[in-house]
């Protein structure tokens, strides 16, 4: 990929919407697959009362729109200002209690797990029915649109083309707890290919920092997959 194309993918611009300032991709086609579009606001004339507590709007009780769901609420029910990274808002924006809770949970992904995905980890990678896996560094691209695999060869997999993801686990630790993540299996539609392509990532067997990094990357990818499917459903 040329530096010019990469720069075009990552270019952003500042725009003002009714909800606030947003830093969005200069070209919409290069937007993050985890992103959400701003909702249509419920028209003022259709919400004479708060859609949470049923308080009647008047001169003292003003109506506010939640920036995430677009519904009408009073200040008591929609007074929190919370970061909303999935809609690219620069500053925290007003959200109802239910949406604020969801946005708080998503903030952990952007503040912690996204950094892990961008840093990458080393896996043994098997494409389709190949007999021999290849050691490759797997990471998320800076614009969050591609899964990059780099070793003796290099591949780009568009996140939006991934149809299924399964985290591979083994055993249960002594005393109970969660099974240990050992890899990931996914299917995606490769450009120009018929049917789905199978890809398998397996973490190395060493117990050093590299193994811990791979396990953390798998956990972060599992969370990213949930956000991806939520984006498709909305």
pLDDT in tens, 79-97: 999 999 999 999 999 999 9
Sign for the CA dihedral angle at 20, 18, 44, 69 comes to negative
pLDDT at 55 over 90: yes
71-75, 177-181, 182-186 — which one is most confidently predicted on average?
Answer: 71-75
What confidence tier does 99 reach under pLDDT thresholds 50, 70, 90? very high
pLDDT tens per residue, range 125-136: 998 888 889 999
- pLDDT > 90 fraction of the chain, expressed in percent and rounded: 50
Query: Which is more confident, 69 or 143?
Result: 69
75/80 Cα distance (integer angstroms)? 9
Closest CA to 78 of 49, 100, 105: 100
**pLDDT (mean) for 4-29:** 78
The CATH number for 120-170+182-233, chosen from 3.30.565.10, 2.40.50.140, 3.20.20.300, 2.30.29.160, is: 2.30.29.160
Angle at 143 between CA 140 and CA 149, to 5 degrees: 30
Top pLDDT among 211 and 9 is at 211
Distance CA 20, CA 192 (A): 40
Rounded Cα gap, residues 57 and 49, in angstroms: 5
With the CA atoms of 130, 135, 141 and 142 taken in that order, what torsion angle do they form, in degrees rounded to the nearest 10?
180
- Mean pLDDT, all residues of the chain: 86
Domain boundaries, the chain: 18-116, 120-170+182-233
- Residue 229: the pLDDT is 77
Residue 29 pLDDT exceeds 80? no
pLDDT at 79: 92
User: What pLDDT is attached to residue 209?
Assistant: 59
Query: What is residue 218's three-state secondary structure?
Result: helix
How far apart, in whole angstroms, are the C-alpha atoms of residue 29 and residue 160? 11
What mean pLDDT is predicted for residues 183-206? Answer: 86
Give the percent of the chain with pLDDT over 70.
88
pLDDT score of 157? 92
- pLDDT, position 6: 55
Across 131-135, 147-151, 161-165, the highest mean pLDDT is recorded for 147-151
Predicted pLDDT of residue 76? 95
> Does 156 score more than 80 pLDDT?
yes
Q: What is the pTM of this model?
A: 0.78
pLDDT at 7 over 90: no
Architecture per CATH, 18-116: 2-Layer Sandwich (3.30)
């Amino acid at each position: 990929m040329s530096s010019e194309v990469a720069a075009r993918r990552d270019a952003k611009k500042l725009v003002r919407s009714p909800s606030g300032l947003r830093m969005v991709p200069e070209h919409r086609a290069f937007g993050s697959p985890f992103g959400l579009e701003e909702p249509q606001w419920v028209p003022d004339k259709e919400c004479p009362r708060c859609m949470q507590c049923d308080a009647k709007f008047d001169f003292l009780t003003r109506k506010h729109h939640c920036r995430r769901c677009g519904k009408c609420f009073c200040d008591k029910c929609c007074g929190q200002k919370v970061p909303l990274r999935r809609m690219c808002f620069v500053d925290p924006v007003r959200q109802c209690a239910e949406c604020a809770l969801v946005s708080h949970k998503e903030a952990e992904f952007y503040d912690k797990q996204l950094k892990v995905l961008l840093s990458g980890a080393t896996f043994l990678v098997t494409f389709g029915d190949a007999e021999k896996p290849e050691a490759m560094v797997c990471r998320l691209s800076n614009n969050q649109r591609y899964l990059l695999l780099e070793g003796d060869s290099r591949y780009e997999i568009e996140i939006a083309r991934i149809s299924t993801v399964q985290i591979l686990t083994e055993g249960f630790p002594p005393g109970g707890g969660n099974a240990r993540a050992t890899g990931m299996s996914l299917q995606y539609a490769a450009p120009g290919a018929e049917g789905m392509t199978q890809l398998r990532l397996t973490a190395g067997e060493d117990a050093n920092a590299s193994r811990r990094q791979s396990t953390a990357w798998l956990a972060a990818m599992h969370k990213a997959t949930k956000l991806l499917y939520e984006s498709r459903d909305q």
